[in-house]
């Protein structure tokens, strides 16, 4: 399956990329944490990372399906 991955703000700068498309073995059920491992390699997910799947806030355990958009970003600071 194919997943679109996005990074924002300080996380985008730390990882040096804002968006990428990855292919994942379709036989395995995938989680947000699994997507992180595939794109960030050895780098552990920072404690305060916020995750979203298809524009809805998610957790590292949330399941990811083919075509989903997964995003990682730091705590929000708008307003």
Q: Supply the minimum distance, in Å, between the C-beta of residue 46 and another protein.
A: 12
DSSP string, 54-67: TTEEE-TT-EE-TT
Selected from 8, 33, 37, 39, the binder of another protein by CB under 8 A is 8
Closest to another protein by CB, 41 vs 75, is 75
Q: Which stretch binds another protein (CB under 8 A): 23-31, 38-46, 53-61?
A: 53-61
The three-state secondary structure class of 33 is helix
Asked if 20 touches another protein (CB under 8 A), the answer is no
Q: Residue 24 burial by CB count (10 A; 0-12/13-18/19+): exposed, middle or buried? A: middle
Supply φ then ψ for residue 58, to 5 degrees. -135, 180
Residues that bind another protein (CB under 8 A): 6, 8-10, 52, 55-57, 71, 73-79
């Amino acid at each position: 399956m194919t997943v679109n991955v996005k990074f924002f703000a300080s996380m985008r700068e730390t990882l040096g990329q804002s968006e990428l498309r990855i292919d994942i073995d379709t036989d395995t059920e995938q989680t947000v944490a699994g997507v992180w491992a595939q794109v960030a390699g050895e780098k552990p997910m920072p404690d305060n990372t916020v995750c979203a799947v298809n524009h809805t806030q998610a957790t590292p355990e949330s399941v990811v399906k083919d075509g989903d958009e997964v995003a990682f970003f730091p705590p929000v600071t708008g307003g």
